[in-house]
Amino acid sequence: MNYKSLYHIYLFSFGFLYYLILPFCVILTDSFLEFPGMNHLAKHYNDNIIFPYLLITICLLISFLLGSLLPIKTKYLIKKKTIAEKELVFGNRDLFLLLIPFFIYAQYLIFSNRSNLFQGYLIEYDAQFMGNIATFNTLFLFWGLYYAGKSTKRNHTLSLFFLFSIFEFSIVLLGLGSRMYILVPLISFLLFLLDNHQITIKKLTINACIIILLLLCVGVWRLGDKISLNALLYIGVAEPCLTWISAESMFTQNNTLPLFSFPSNFLSSFFNFIPSVLLPNKDELIQPITLSYESPFGATNLLLSLLDNFGILGSCLILFILGFLLSYIRFNANSLLSKTYYLCICGVIPFQLFRDNIAIINKILFYNFLLFPMVLIILEKAIYKKSRQIL
């Protein structure tokens, strides 16, 4: 395995260009400023931010790349690949019984909110409903890829169950305007096919272009406009540009940016792991971002989250560690759990990582994709060993 299989490098680089460089080019060329919302881009811009912005962002990218490539140059960090012997994986029946209660509850939520589906931008949606469906989507994504990666003979009915569930949740999220959320399962699934040699780079590129075009058309429809080249281009650049306002305003509204910072927002975001039933006021416990900024459309640029929580040099260190850990997982992933986890993380990197607040990202990466599956697998192993002892 070499650097070509390190999908996170390509996906992070794409997200970097899309969310951090493209908006900068748009404002420098005064493009699309006549479209809805884009006036906020010019409102917070001044030429004084050009040098510090480019210096900081490039340093962050280099830090991530160096961390990602270090395991390749340090051979002892890469363990020799071995086939996992007698790895206990969820059986088809257990997997179905595990997920069917979540599926039924999701149907109840969708039915209860059916009047709000596919209404364009005419109404405001229940954020908790959207968050629940997004959580179910990531949950079924993980176990769907986990199931697809099993070497044992797969059950056709269970395969259809996973496909239908993820497709349904994605359509609902698309109807609610959450195009970024449905990209997570799409990217992860395409990488699974590529990783298992079930699709070529050429077909992957073609499929990705078709998916992007369809999502742009949905965005134009929700805007209530006619399909045109300008409208499609605007929808394409609006997402990163409107997200970038939070990063841009951070540079113009703060005289200095910290070199290091205590990550109170990051650490307190782990309260988000606790179910709302047990901790109804958990949102109040999450510390807000302390740097001054504006985000008229709600998205939080990754650059703002990093600098507020870790500072400039601290962010370079964090991204170096992140790149290193992702490469380490990729090179040493022998278990089905670790392989599935890597593919799921890759689905989050190019879009959601760069535009969602840190509480959402933490919950997805550490709870939905890691802690929750690990606990269930440990319980499955304990039950299996206990039953073997009884027999």
List pLDDT tens digits, range 317-329: 999 999 999 999 9
8 neighbors 345 (Cβ within 8 angstroms): yes
pLDDT at 262: 94
Helix axes 302-332, 229-253, angle to 10 degrees: 110
Long-range (24+ apart) CB contacts under 8 A made by 285-292 are 286/359, 289/265, 290/264, 290/265, 291/250, 291/253, 291/254, 291/257, 292/249, 292/250, 292/253, 292/254
Q: Residue type for 135, please?
A: T
List pLDDT tens digits, range 70-114: 888 775 565 655 544 455 567 788 888 889 999 999 999 988 887
The SS3 call for residue 300 is coil
Structure tokens belonging to residue 125: 């949606």
277 neighbors 329 (Cβ within 8 angstroms): no
Structure tokens belonging to residue 123: 């109404």
When mean pLDDT is compared over 72-81, 267-276, 338-347, the highest value belongs to: 338-347
DSSP assignments along 56-109, one per residue: HHHHHHHHHHHHHHHHHH-GGGSPPP-PPTT-----HHHHHHHHHHHHHHHHHH
More confident residue, 301 or 279: 301
pLDDT at 227: 82
Name the pTM for this structure: 0.90
**Residue written as token pair 């996170």:** 8
C-beta atoms surrounding 92 within 10 Å: 16
Q: Which whole number is the average pLDDT over 334-342? A: 90
pLDDT at 20: 95
Structure tokens belonging to residue 334: 């022998």
pLDDT at 13: 97
Q: How many domains does the chain have?
A: 1
Alpha-carbon span 354 to 302, nearest angstrom: 5
Domain span at 333: 3-390
pLDDT at 122: 47
Least Cα distance to 99 among 131, 134, 152, 143 occurs for: 143
DSSP assignments along 161-181, one per residue: HHHHHHHHHHHHHHHTT-HHH
Alpha-carbon span 177 to 376, nearest angstrom: 32
List pLDDT tens digits, range 44-80: 888 899 999 999 999 999 999 999 998 887 755 656 5
Say which residues have a Cβ less than 8 Å from residue 358's Cβ, sequence separation at least 6: 265, 266, 269, 300, 305, 309
When mean pLDDT is compared over 90-94, 125-129, 363-367, the highest value belongs to: 363-367
310 neighbors 51 (Cβ within 8 angstroms): no
Q: Give the model's confidence band at 126: pLDDT under 50 very low, under 70 low, under 90 confident, else very high.
A: low
Alpha-carbon span 350 to 219, nearest angstrom: 19
C-beta atoms surrounding 176 within 10 Å: 22
List pLDDT tens digits, range 5-42: 899 999 999 999 999 999 999 998 888 878 888 888 88
**What's the chain's average pLDDT?**
86
The SS3 call for residue 325 is helix
